[in-house]
Amino acid sequence: MVRTALTNMLGIEAPLVGFNRSPAVVAEVSNAGGFGVLGASTFTPAELDAALSWIEEQVGGRPYGVDVLVPGHTAQSDPADLIASLRAQIPQGHRDFVEGLLERYGIPELPAGTPTVATDEIASALATGGGGVEALLDVAFSHRISLVANALGPPPPELVSRAKAAGVPVAGLVGQGKHVANQLEAGVDVLIAQGTEAGGHTGTVATMVLTPEVIELAGSVPVLAAGGIASGPQMAAALALGAAGVWCGSVWLSSTEEVTGEAVKRKYLEATSADTVRSPTRTGKPARQLRTAWHDEWDTLGAPSPLPMPLQPMLVQDAWNRIDAAADAGNEDARALESFFIGQVVGGFRRLRPTAEITREIIADCEARLHELARLTATPGEP
């Protein structure tokens, strides 16, 4: 039992938020006393509806949340036209580089029927909200979510007004102090201060520095610390910085329930904390990921510069679909390239464990550390 402004707001036992794209992880975090948030950026409305219904069956009455990708500005053009226009902006030299890389590593075409991440949907979602934003929000608010977060930038007015009407708090993520004002103006109820050590899109300022800076700027809005937090001592450190709780992402990649492919998870278990890199080669924006031969190739003299978002993911997503499939099928060269988003906490991964075990251990170890800390200042003779 650790009580903060977040546990009061969400009605949870401990201020640990678990963010993941696997519904099973979300449900297990909530069931173990934390608060699961489904990362639904790449979900269709139908997929989101199925996932949230399933989560609700698992968690009984326990609260959970959802994270969607709603761009602040939406284009009005036809999605098919837009995708064609974006595709035309990708230089042939970039296509040749990626194709040549796949050839040199002997990465085969995808076997027919392989499930993949759909490139056009990603591009469309990133550029316009894909026309599906309203439908996604319809689905989200038709379920009994207790928090809605927006993955990139301040939440747009339509998201905030729907959330306020439904009595659902809105969370926004910042990587620099200067982004706090926009989030507060947009009307967020919770801020997530994400340090550079986090996986995925991240800035350059570390959690130790960013968290107190955001807290000072946030006024009465509770701040969660994100980045570098995968253990009880790290959760206690975040609370010591003044955070109302922690937002953990990477640690669930070491869980048995997480849906990331086996080849990637095996590389995570072997990695050290120094084996990640903040690179724009996957999404067009700097995102922390496991450093592999993929990044060496993009660092080679003569390699093209990564394109901006959303062109870079349109350029490379098909390549990643092929690399992932080949790596999971045992292709050694594909395993050398294989990578995915992950934070510096990957260095602490020892084996895959059930999400519930990870959650309970972080919370229990945090409580134990808080009790130990109290003894550092006790005068001799006191307990």
Contact set with a copy of itself (CB under 8 A): 1-4, 176-178, 195-197, 203-210, 212-213, 227-229, 231, 233-234, 236-242, 272-274, 344-345, 347-348, 367, 369-371, 373-374, 376-377, 379
Nearer to a copy of itself, 210 or 314 (CB): 210
Shortest CB 372 distance to a copy of itself, Å: 9
Nearer to a copy of itself, 73 or 350 (CB): 350
Shortest CB 14 distance to a copy of itself, Å: 10
Q: What angle do CA 62, 353, 172 make, to 5 degrees?
A: 50
Cα distances (angstroms) measured from residue 88 to each of 83, 92, 181, 221, 279: 9, 9, 37, 44, 24
Shortest CB 288 distance to a copy of itself, Å: 10
Shortest CB 170 distance to a copy of itself, Å: 25
Given a contact cutoff of 8 angstroms between Cβ atoms, the answer to whether 241 and 12 are in contact is no
Nearer to a copy of itself, 70 or 345 (CB): 345
The sign one gets for the Cα dihedral 162, 252, 318, 272 is: positive
Helix (H) or strand (E) holding 180: helix 180-186
Nearer to a copy of itself, 142 or 300 (CB): 300
Rg (CA), the chain: 21
Nearer to a copy of itself, 184 or 240 (CB): 240
Shortest CB 222 distance to a copy of itself, Å: 13
Is residue 379 packed enough to be buried (19+ CB in 10 Å), middle (13-18) or exposed (0-12)?
exposed
Report how far residue 203's alpha carbon sits from residue 286's, in angstroms, rounded to the nearest whole number: 8
Given a contact cutoff of 8 angstroms between Cβ atoms, the answer to whether 71 and 152 are in contact is yes
Nearer to a copy of itself, 98 or 209 (CB): 209
Shortest CB 213 distance to a copy of itself, Å: 6
